[in-house]
Amino acid sequence: MTRSALKRIAFCTPVNPVASGISDYSEELLPELGRYFDITVIVDDGVQPANNELIRCLPVEAASKLPKLHRRRSFDAIIYHLGNSPYHATFYDFLHKLPGVVVLHDFVLHHMVVWWAVNRLKRVSAYTDELARRYGPASLDVARLILAGRYPESAFDYPCCESVIELADGLIAHSRYVAERVDRIRPGMPVAVVPMGVPLPPPIARAEARARLGLPQETLIWASFGHINPYKRLEPALRAFRRLRSDHPDALYILVGSSLPTYDIKAVVRRLGLQDAVRITGHVPTEMFQDYVAAADLCLNLRHPTAGETSASLLRLLGAGKPVLVSATGAFAELPPDVAAQVDTDECEESLILAYGQRLAQDPALAAELGRRAREYVASRHTIAGAARGYAAFLAQLYGWQEPQPVRPPLWELAAWAPQAQPSTAGAAATQPAAPAAPASLVSLLVGAAAADLGLQEHDVDMLDRVAARLRGL
């Protein structure tokens, strides 16, 4: 089949150097999706893609040209990638004029809609009127805080995604969590749950990564990755880490990623007296990011409240074969229990973080086995080829096309990592059976220590039972 015979797709997305995880997502998906479709990439005006392979293999056009291009080329479909950041405001704007398929990366679009109204429309009332119409006058209290530069947790109660769901021809989600909430807003809307695809990260030896980063070889290291903000649950994680240091006084906690300017994480660290034990790297290049992942003994990817996102950074941690703690909320709760350890977001949160950290530090074989299963899960369930097939099947079903088949090789090659290759941290467990569940006496000791630190008494039965149940799931 010639390129001219393929269905024509306008693919509206941020790309690098735009600092969005969706830039990476799209650049990883496009080489495989281009096997099925004739794709034109639509980017914000003024964005010059940094990916030379993208420029070489696909036409790239400014968003302002989309209406004219659509009239001239008559795209068979337009795909809009929408997430909760200003980088998607242009595509949100065009969705109101040209219908298409929405890939909803975040169920909550509140912060993006605020930016769109204030900066693109120059009309605050477009935001406040929408909020009042959808949610009633009580929502305006949240609006006043946000317009004053504050972002309360209650903003997550007002997702501001309704107009997107009403305007879209169909919707692609990456989790059942999002798909089910979309169905409540617009029952019967065509929705596909397509797993997010990520390339398997390279296997990197822990010792080599630590040597390159100047980190001590024998020290216990926790690490959190991604943009630092109040919703990443760093304060309970740091409190748990502070108590962990009674058994591991040299332990380090590394925070890898940029910080929200209005969130003073350094002040939090000072308040907890952890200045000598916490390192904040800021944004780091990809190679260094991968080294920090390889260097960590435990990775934490906690979020509450959730915007309904499926985290590519989490999948990269799992794909690297690392034991990972996630919050038991939103899409993260859909992960199998033998792939990531889930932390409740209630009063048990800090206790669970501590208990998991102690359990995995005391049993390296169990930590390695958890990492091995995590990598296998990503290698089988979150492939880029599988994601592209999901897109192709949904578009064909939605628009009544014959389901397209891949007619050419990937447009360009990503770094390929064989699924059977395991990171060195998981190698020890690869030839061993899974570690048995912790004996009751160990569970009791771990839970008891955490509970004492939290000031719990023996009558706090419900909380203790939930902590113990989570640990037994490891």
Task: Give me the DSSP letters along 215-243.
Answer: --SSS-EEEEES-B-GGG-HHHHHHHHHH
236 lies in the same domain as 276: yes
Helix (H, G, I), strand (E, B) or coil at 49: coil
Instruction: Specify the amino acid at residue 323.
Output: P
Residue 329 lies in a domain: yes
Residue 117 lies in a domain: no
> Would you say the pTM of this structure is higher than 0.75?
yes
Structural domain tally of the chain? 2
Cβ neighbours of residue 97 closer than 8 Å, sequence gap 6 or more: 67
Residue 224 lies in a domain: yes
Could you tell me the CATH number of the domain that includes residue 225?
Answer: 3.40.50.2000
307 lies in the same domain as 330: yes
233 lies in the same domain as 366: yes
Between the CA of residue 259 and those of 256, 263, 326, what are the distances in Å? Answer: 9, 7, 20
272 lies in the same domain as 371: yes
Confidence at residue 151, expressed as pLDDT on a 0 to 100 scale: 81
Residue 163 burial by CB count (10 A; 0-12/13-18/19+): exposed, middle or buried? middle
Helix (H, G, I), strand (E, B) or coil at 413: coil
Confidence at residue 227, expressed as pLDDT on a 0 to 100 scale: 86
180 lies in the same domain as 212: no
Confidence at residue 201, expressed as pLDDT on a 0 to 100 scale: 87
Between the CA of residue 118 and those of 90, 122, 126, 244, what are the distances in Å? Answer: 13, 5, 8, 45
Confidence at residue 158, expressed as pLDDT on a 0 to 100 scale: 97
105 lies in the same domain as 188: yes
Structural domain of residue 391, as residue ranges? 3-109+161-197+383-399
Residue 451 lies in a domain: no
Peptide bond into 305 cis (omega under 30): yes
Residue 357 lies in a domain: yes
Q: Dihedral of the CA atoms 351, 244, 429, 344 (nearest 10)?
A: 20
Q: Which residue has the tokens 């477009």?
A: 126
Instruction: Specify the amino acid at residue 379.
Output: A
Q: How many helices (H) and strands (E) does the chain have?
A: 20, 13
171 lies in the same domain as 189: yes
Residue 167 lies in a domain: yes
Confidence at residue 185, expressed as pLDDT on a 0 to 100 scale: 97
344 lies in the same domain as 270: yes
234 lies in the same domain as 285: yes
DSSP code of residue 301: E
Confidence at residue 150, expressed as pLDDT on a 0 to 100 scale: 85
Q: Which residue has the tokens 């960590």?
A: 296
213 lies in the same domain as 331: yes
User: 3-state secondary structure string, 70-115?
Assistant: HHHHCCCEEEEEECCCHHHHHHHHHHCCCCCEEEECCCCCHHHHHH
| Nearest residue to 154 (alpha-carbon basis) of 305, 310, 331, 327 | 305
Confidence at residue 473, expressed as pLDDT on a 0 to 100 scale: 58
Q: Which two tokens stand for residue 283?
A: 């944004």
Residue 130 lies in a domain: no
291 lies in the same domain as 329: yes
Would you give per-residue pLDDT tens digits along the chain (474 residues)?
A: 455 589 999 999 999 999 888 999 999 999 999 999 999 999 999 999 999 999 999 999 999 999 999 998 889 999 999 999 999 999 999 999 999 999 999 999 999 999 999 999 999 999 999 999 999 999 999 999 999 988 889 999 999 999 999 999 999 999 999 999 999 999 999 999 999 999 998 899 999 999 999 999 999 999 999 889 889 999 999 999 999 999 999 999 999 998 888 899 999 999 999 999 999 999 888 899 999 999 999 999 999 999 999 999 899 999 999 999 999 999 999 999 899 999 999 999 999 999 999 999 999 999 999 999 999 999 999 999 999 999 999 999 999 999 899 999 999 998 533 333 233 322 322 222 233 333 333 333 333 434 433 344 334 445 445 555 555 556
388 lies in the same domain as 428: no
Residue 463 lies in a domain: no
